[in-house]
Structure 1
Amino acid sequence: MTIPQPPPGPGSPYGDQPSVDGDPHLSWYQPPGTARPLIPHQATAAPAPPAEPPADPGQLPLASRTMRLFARTADYALTTALVLPLWVLAYHYLQGKAADLPTKTVRTAFLDVVFGRAGEAQRAPLEAVDGLWSTTKTLLLLLVLAHLLVPALYDWFMHARFGRTLGKILVGAKVVPVGTAATEVPGRVPVGAWRAARRTLVAVVVPWAAVLLTWYEVALRQWGAASLFALLSLIGLLDPLAVLGPRRRTWHDRTAGTVVVNVKLLARGWSATRNASAAVVQGARGASTAMAQGARGAREMWQSSRVSGAHPEDPT
């Protein structure tokens, strides 16, 4: 194949061309894919990679799993302490109804029922008094309801009104709806009665009812019903285990659309510190990208100069 030649001579419209491999007529011809830039020695910078979006200023620091466990334990201890006086009143009421029986006999029979030993021999002293066994079963059921209603009402009211229980106040945690901005957390965030009710239903009512009814049926030696309620009580175990996930949201958090945040970190300027750190990281990435582009441009300039006949030293 014959390579086309430009017109020779000083009047050539192509002007004086540098030689390539000693042949000035080949300088204007470039095989496909090897054309130089229009401006000599101009390196084509590679497009910069898209910058990562800045950190969301509304993202909140989550309460740790230890904080949540401690807060829930403290709340259960508090509500249980509120119900304990009712047990004392129930015992004294039964003792008054069985005035003809020795105090030790009534106390032993009552404790046997409470700890699930309500067999025929254990409940015989209570059955010896007319109507006392039926009264005992009724009192036990009322105590079960008290152990259920007191924690449920406490959990619902505190979250609906303040977004935190006494246990959460103690550890520095707070419940807020998903999407709440960091600047809104220090104020009174409206969790709402309906959202708090859904949260309490899954966190307190269902598991506590199952556990207490299991105990009640065991105390009465009703093993079939006790097994059914024991199976239902697994919700109380699986629900808090969901906090082990990366977002630390339990089933009751997902049901209510809430998240538990660490207000102590927010009080220490967590958002400002986090955004400043993100800016530093973003600046470091930009500087690294600029250095890589500069090195790539220098390399391309060196390769371009080699094609034109010059032989500068390799910048790398």
Structure 2
Amino acid sequence: MNDDYDTPWKEVVTRYFPEFMAFYFNDAYAAIDWSRPYAFLDQELAALSHDAAQGRRLLDKLVRVHLRDGGEQWVLVHLEVQGRHDAGFAERIFTYHYRVYDRYRKPVASLAVLADSGRRWRPSSFAYELLGCEMCLMFPIVKLQDYADCIDELLLNHNPFALVTAAHLMTQQTRHDATRRRAFKWRLTRLLYRHHWDRQRILSLFRAIDWMMRLPEAMEQKFHADVLHLEEGGHAMPYVTSIERIGRQIGREEGRKEGREEGRTQGRQEGRAQGRLQGQAEMLLAVLADRYGALDAAARARVEAADEAQLHRWAHKVIHAASLREVFGD
């Protein structure tokens, strides 16, 4: 299976940055004043690092935050989520660090999450010494593989990044075992609704898990059908997805209009189908906006008017398309 880790990490870290810091870097989280707004400076980071070695990183972020002690008006947090062993990783952290400091003349904290599949690689410093001059940068790291033996404990944790970590690790472990991956993905999906999170958080995390833990196409379609019927199986979920809710509401309205059992049955079926289509369109719009930026009215209208087959074709194109134009194929 051709797994994609990049897109899920980008979405959830951007949307749930405080939870990211609380789960992986708790000391830094405690030092930040979360009552004051923070800001992502991704474009500025891209401009500073355009000629730096890329490596296989899943994410790099530059965030402006305020500290609780008030000693600085604001400081900078440079984040890296590294997906593969890279001999030049520590030097790249050093390069980004000094370039950010040189640009803003503000204190910089570089933090790294190592998401590779090995356990030994743990770069946490870059240093050299020449003619009595010493240079050294030490930076905190988190190794996802350290959580590999405590998956069950992760699933009991209410921080969303516990589930993201579990999904990442199980995606690595089930690369050649679709049946086992499907079972764990189903377990994670059920847990999302049992946490009693708000609708947006459930949809965002489901989208990340769904994107990361890819299944063969036939198994994927069956999985999504099963998700839509969680409530029908007698599980006390607050809402499975907006898809099922919309479908049921439309079905009830249609049934009342008909006034007959046949009309109610048909209304529920048509409503469920329409709700499923609307939910798929909503999910695709969210992915497109995250990947390519804000959508104009024409693009939104095109997605909302598409049939199910067309939505599936566009969703598959998003995986490799470099632009919205490539997704739509014109």
TM-score by length of 1: 0.27
Structure label with greater radius of gyration: 1
TM-score by length of 2: 0.26
Give the number of the structure whose residues are more often strand, by fraction.
Answer: 2
